[in-house]
Structure 1
Amino acid sequence: MNIGRYLELGGKALWQRCQRELGMPEDYIERRGFSTFTAEHHLTYHSELLEGDDVSVRVRLVARSAKVLHAVCLIVDETNRRLACTMETTAVHMDMTERRPVDFPDDVAALIDAGLAADDRPWPAPLCGAMGVRRR
């Protein structure tokens, strides 16, 4: 697979989680005037995926600040039962009218916090160490 396919798999999985579980449904821009912009991606390749391999993606929330969500997508080669790629992302919550970063609304922040708690694991997330959420 090429880089575009890994980005597509991870990006789609993260956006679906935002829509389904984190209070940012398909009409989030239209209804509330907000969205998220990706600020940074980091891909790490662990093993090769080949055409025909069964693939799944698991999204693990890592951290958040008032305006930024940090997540890692685990792209799994289900055929060979191994981690193929990690796609780490920071997404900035944006006011689409003013085109500037704004705090997550309280209801969305609460859902993200619940997701962070649910994703807390006894093993560390496979992070690159070069990116994250800045807290001021």
Structure 2
Amino acid sequence: MQENKIKVYIKIDENNCIININSSIFLDDIKDYIQIDEGDGDKYSHAQGNYLEKGLINSKGRYNYKYVDNKVIELTEEEKEKLFPPVPVQPTPQELLNSKLLMDNANIQLELDNQKKLNADLLLKMAQLGGVTNV
């Protein structure tokens, strides 16, 4: 009796970083994939979430593993920095508009505060003059 083991496949990029992992259960076409293991259980059948200890991608969106000499090897932080440098985030048009509106609002508040101060100074001077004004 032949045992049907579940195969685990990976896909790598030009730097040998593992960019995809899946099991034979979910892959119809294994072209460009490399078989790295086979077995039974969740580790093999649900390889995307269970096979790699730290998962395929870290919280910064960087791949965690490479495939070298038929072995899955964890990338160091230095390798990740070199292979996946941070991309500066460009604000969206809506974020730019929101920023401008907030700045305009702050400037209006400052002008209003300055006007209140001027009004208070005028009222103080009027009070010092006895509250009498020539009209």
TM over 0.5: no
> Whose strand fraction is larger, Structure 1's or Structure 2's?
1
> Whose helix fraction is larger, Structure 1's or Structure 2's?
2
Higher relative contact order (CA 8 A, sep 6+): 1
